[in-house]
A and B are shown apart, each in its own frame.
Chain A
């Protein structure tokens, strides 16, 4: 069972959260705070696993709440999902390792995705208590998720959900199973951030996530192409073939 606290100064916003959480049996709401002070007290006494936190509270902002909590509750810091109408704070949320950042108004689907992520995160924490948030997991320097604005939302996209990344001039297109997002970013910069044991550069303009690769197929002209599980084909160039051979040989 996972215990959650809802913090928002608006009654209706808390009501919506409570209502949506009814559909998720693993999560039990153990308290609601309407101010930052109330929320801090609640978290100290109830020690929840998960905190839904509005950034704009009347007495302090959500980041101050997190700061106070990390001073006092230390190791029993709950996982945090921010719920806010503002999108300026996403980067800060990212820096303090929030699980997700829901922009109001959010849909049920978006909410489900965030809570699933939180459940997974909490489960990992319970199995491996050393892996505290805030410390890089197993010392890996690679990013576990990327954060960006796309289509008026803010996405905290775990890199495991990326199928492949294609270059489009000064942009990269990040493709997941359901969507694609255009980011102003360079291939080399994004490649640096990704774990090379999972993400492989197969072409000057494409990086694939090996978890989604179904097969590598010879094409007619003696070159090879990568076929993803959804049937999509991505050409591979000779320059990068040695890398994939090396990987296949492991």
Chain B
């Protein structure tokens, strides 16, 4: 609210009171003639003063007006209201030495006493009305402010989640899957349907995570299991999938999507070249103060894989390596090696840290209700 609007409205209200008194004096035959101009000036000045004083108080005491509890009201505003009434009356009496009419040569203090006596309650009403008006206004402004920040935050969050989605979910994998769906649509509608549902599930989980840097191993494994379920359909039974996760490690924190590129590599460079009897195993175990993650796959071994016809060699692995280094410095390791009969093994170790995440913040469950 602009100060001119506020003070202007107050002054207009004063003029209206002046007109009212003038009409009143005419219809009830006061025993003297009253000048309309004088009345308008007197009333207008009074309300102009009130408007100005209230506005100044609002400027000076905004926090107290907005948040003051009962104590502030009793200890600050109650005495203040009396003081303000007095000050306003002093100024007004100085401005209009000829009033009250019909009492010439009255002493200043007598006039002041007369006016205070006549108008004290009116003044109080004005003061407290202004006080509560400003207080309400403060509430409203703050409510609007809150709404605005909430909507800003929300849009920022959505942007962050979309960024996370782009970063986390390998676009390559996304489009391959879509292509798979498109080809299945022609031959096996139910399978295409299932793949679509699984892809939606993966996207949903990724969005839910927002841009959390670390997640519990159980969440990462949930994602991997879904990914494996999709791959399992693609490779229809050619690959046996094994998982061994030490239950004590479910809550261990791992960087988000740290395993997915490795599992994807296992399929792309190894398992995709076998017609049957493939094996993929994922293990999570504890090594002193470290978490050891191990992904083993059968296939073509390293020599064949590296000079093969595959695209994007090592991008996924380099990405994992970089992220581990950024998060843990030297306190981590990642080894890629070939063990017996063309099996490739990736072993990752990282510091064992546990998140303090309560069941309420876990996005993967609602639990029993």
Interface residues of A (CB under 8 A from B): 87, 90-91, 94-95, 103-110, 143, 146-153, 168-171, 182-185, 189-190, 193
| A64 vs B352: C-alpha distance when bound (angstroms) | 48
Contact status A169-B247, CB under 8 Å: yes
Which residue on A lies nearest to B202, using beta carbons?
A: A152
Chain B residues 204-239 with CB under 8 Å of chain A are: 204-205, 218, 222, 225-226, 229
Interface pair A169/B365, CB less than 8 Å apart: no
Q: How far is the CA of A130 from the CA of B201 in the complex (A)?
A: 38
**B369 interface neighbour in A91, A104, A150, Cβ under 8 Å:** A91
Determine which of A91, A143, A184 lies in contact with B364 in the assembled complex, contact meaning CB atoms within 8 Å: A184
Measured CB to CB, the nearest residue on chain B to A110 is: B197
Rounded to whole angstroms, the CA-CA distance of A195 and B123 in the bound complex is 71
Question: Which of B198, B363, B368 is close to A143, meaning CB atoms less than 8 Å apart?
Answer: B368
Contact of A169 (CB < 8 Å), options: B202, B250, B362: B250
Could you say which of A95, A106, A109, A149 contacts B365, with CB atoms under 8 Å apart?
A149
Contact B200 A182, beta carbon cutoff 8 Å = no
- Inter-subunit contact B365/A185 (CB<8 Å): yes
Bound-complex Cα distance A94 to B359 (A): 19
**Beta-carbon contact of B197 and A105 below 8 Å:** yes
| Chain A nearest CB, measured from B317 CB (Å) | 26
Which chain A residues border B264 with CB–CB below 8 Å? none
Give the interface size bracket for B toward A: 20 to 34
Q: Enumerate chain B interface residues (CB-CB to A < 8 A).
A: 190, 193-194, 196-198, 200-205, 218, 222, 225-226, 229, 247-248, 250-251, 359, 362-369
In the complex, number of A-B residue pairs with CB atoms less than 8 Å apart: 91
| Chain A neighbourhood of B222, CB < 8 A | 150-151, 182
Residues B368 and A170 in contact, CB atoms below 8 Å apart: no
From residue A194, how far is it (CB to closest CB) to chain B in Å? Answer: 8
Q: How far is the CA of A170 from the CA of B202 in the complex (A)?
A: 24
User: A105's contact among B196, B229, B364, by CB below 8 Å, is which?
Assistant: B196
Residues of B within 8 A of A150 (CB): 222, 364-365
Closest residue of chain B to A105 (Cβ to Cβ) is B196
| Across-interface contacts of A183 in B (CB, < 8 A) | 364-365, 367
